[in-house]
Amino acid sequence: MNIEFGYFYRDCGNFKNFGEVIFANKRSLSAKEINEKLLSTVMPEPFFRASDLGLPDLFFENFPYDPELDHESHEYHKVSETEKPTNDSFNRDITDLLLAIEKKYRNW
């Protein structure tokens, strides 16, 4: 099963835009294992910059990003197992994403 990594962007007005990226799962990790890894060791806070991790930014198309009001932080939502095909633009495995998060946010 592949892994669906769900996240969202919340703008200054608290409007949310959800998105997901589907990753391969060559080690057959369960969604529970990945979620626990994310929340306990890799990402103690659910906030991250999508562009830092090679994920699409989820800013609103109809309301352009305003750096004086908005922020670049996206928020982790959930992971789940899926049979959907992978759509990560870098063709990564979920373990690659976990390593990227750990490297970038290790001291967060």
Q: pLDDT value at position 19?
A: 97
CA distance 43 to 13: 25
Task: Specify the number of domains making up the chain.
Answer: 1
Residue pLDDT, tens place only, 23-46: 999 999 999 999 998 887 666 678
Tens of pLDDT, residues 64-83? 777 887 888 999 999 999 99
The residues facing 19 across adjacent strands are 7
**Domain carrying residue 78:** 2-105
pLDDT of residue 89: 96
Mean pLDDT of the chain: 90
Q: Is the pLDDT of residue 90 over 90?
A: yes
